[in-house]
Amino acid sequence: MEALCFVASPTPLFRTTTQHSAFPPIRTLTLNTPKKSNKNQPSIITATLTNPKEQIFHKPSRLDSLNTTPPELMKVSSASLVYESGFLGVVPEKKAAPAGKGGDGVHNATTYLTKILSSKVYDVAVETPLDYASKLSERLGVHFWLKREDLQPGVFSFKLRGAYNMMAKLSREQLDRGVICSSAGNHAQGVALSAQKLGCDAVVAMPVATPEIKLKAVERLGATVVLVGESYEQAQEYSRKRAREEGLTFVPGFDHPDIIAGQGTVGMEIVRQMPAPLHAIFVPVGGGGLIAGISAYVKTVYPGVKIIGVEPYDANSMALSLYHQQRIMLDKIGRFADGVAVEVVGKETLRLCTELIDGVVLVSQDAICASIKDMFEEKRAVLEPAGALAIAGAESYCKYYGLKGENVVAITSGANMNFDGLRLVSQLADDGRRRKSVLATFVPENRENIKEFCQLAGDRSSIENEILCRFVIPDRPGALMKLLDAFRGRWNISMLNYRGQGESGGNVLMGLQVVSSEMDEFKALANRLGYDYAFETGDEALPLLMPS
């Protein structure tokens, strides 16, 4: 008789850096440059690496060879900073200082206040509503508000604000030469729509794994799309290189004063729309442009309001930069919430966040999916993962601190969900609220055996020398076969379970019969594969699956 019951695993994936936490663990890029196309004939172009095979089977461990990391930045693992979901971590030192020593001082953001007030965003953007979320409010015991940037017309994201604010300030000569940007999707749409409004050509470099809905949206807006690289950083390297060579104006996704000021108009609207004293605004964080802009405005006019960033556990570059008090580069990054999958935050955004924000909350993929479901039940709207990130952070924070009766705002930052991703979201949503478990059992066909199973679930036999290991593999042909080929013939594979995760890859749960003397060999081989992995040992249900 065998039984299997899974709950969410706390086991962290293996990486090389030491973990920094007050809590126990919760668990030269060479490109072929395409020719400039006519703006009336938008196209999608793939810019390949010098070795096409390398692009298909690229190992994250070889990012050093791509020369996309500025030499002054150290590489850090996302798993090196882990704390409990909902906890307000990495509070900047100025915020933690005692009164009279910088903890409650006036923040130096007045120059941004002027930029925000004079922003040109309303030539194309609209003031989005601040909606009351009655169901979330009742469940959490707070007054929960949603700043609906997912309703921004044309692009369904706040990104239009910053892109247009910067581009509208370019000279006619600069516009005639054209603009270029790198983006995982929403900034690309903002640039493309702004270019359409201002009458200029736009080229957009996007990572090869960008969801199709974002590719098609950019193409429809008249921009030329170039698919290049595995990450935002590689796409940005291509964009900057081409901007230098062709005289195009590079429009950054976040690290520019005009971009930050454009995004800051979201904070200005919240202050104007909020009918009562506000406890906190929860902001999704990628490169930091949105939270920098919001904090620059809100902390100037209402310094007592908390500005709290929210990041996924596997894409926490801002939290790690605040922790190390310098910009870092993530060695590997989770792509489920692709809108915030940024390896390196901006210089100016980090400076503002260090001075202004109140900390960062980290959340899991399951929690994000649960918040997508919450939003659908609340407003019948479907958010993309990055768009629901702030809701997940706000919910976790309210539960962790037992917050009651306060007004909190979460930014719903985007609704460009790839339809194929809805299957995964629906599967993981209940996991995020701990509402679901999976039970599997094998018993002889006898009417008494179900009763016997319930009574004797603790009576189990062992499988000698068996380990259970979880791998995260890329979502591309050949990745699973590569994993199986690495171990086949060396150790017996006693169990295999694969679960696709869309753009973020796939989880492989593998049981292998490995004796203790061979563990070093196993780890060395697993490390050479270049896939993240973890030994599953901490889940309370594992003794039922692999008894000892």
Amino acid at 358: D
74: left (phi over 0), alpha (psi -120 to 50) or beta: beta
Residues 370, 310 share a domain: yes
Residues 472, 381 share a domain: no
Domain count, the chain: 2
Q: Is 391 part of a structural domain of the chain?
A: yes
Residues 129, 67 share a domain: yes
Maximum average pLDDT range among 39-48, 403-412, 483-492? 403-412
**56 has pLDDT over 60:** no
pTM across the whole model: 0.71
Q: Which of 115, 147, 159, 332 is catalytic?
A: 159
Q: Which of 85, 231, 396, 413 is catalytic?
A: 413
pLDDT of 154 reads 87
CA 171/CA 181 separation, integer angstroms: 17
Structure tokens at 285: 């964080």
**29 has pLDDT over 70:** no
pLDDT of 233 reads 78
CA 384/CA 141 separation, integer angstroms: 26
CA 513/CA 74 separation, integer angstroms: 37
216 is catalytic: no
Q: Note the pLDDT tens digit of each residue in 380-420.
A: 999 999 999 999 999 999 999 999 999 999 999 998 887 77
Maximum average pLDDT range among 67-71, 185-189, 284-288, 456-460? 284-288
Among 417, 450, 479, the domain-final residue is: 417
What sign results for the dihedral spanned by CA atoms 40, 155, 157, 115? positive
Structure tokens at 491: 């150790």
Residues 146, 275 share a domain: yes
Residues 404, 321 share a domain: yes
Helix (H) or strand (E) holding 410: strand 407-412
* 233 or 37, higher pLDDT: 233
Residues 133, 269 share a domain: yes
Q: Is 174 part of a structural domain of the chain?
A: no
How many other CB atoms sit within 10 Å of the CB of residue 402? 8
pLDDT of 344 reads 93
CA 336/CA 362 separation, integer angstroms: 14
pLDDT of 37 reads 41
CA 156/CA 383 separation, integer angstroms: 10
CA 447/CA 455 separation, integer angstroms: 14
Band of pLDDT at residue 527, cut at 50, 70 and 90 = confident
Cβ–Cβ under 8 Å, residues 412 and 390 = yes
The secondary structure of 424-446 as a DSSP string is HHHHHHHHHTT---EEEEE--S-
Region 122-132: mean pLDDT is 96
pLDDT of 379 reads 94
Q: Is 88 part of a structural domain of the chain?
A: yes
Cβ–Cβ under 8 Å, residues 415 and 362 = no
77 is catalytic: no
Q: Which residues contact 206 (CB under 8 A, 6 or more apart)?
A: 182, 183, 184, 185, 188, 214, 215, 218, 225, 226, 227, 228, 235
Residues 344, 269 share a domain: yes
Domain extent at residue 8: 2-21+462-545
Lowest-confidence range among 41-45, 315-319, 430-434, 510-514? 41-45
Rounded alpha-carbon distances, angstroms, from residue 546 to 427, 465, 490, 492, 519: 25, 10, 20, 15, 18
pLDDT of 447 reads 54
3-class state of residue 470 by DSSP: strand
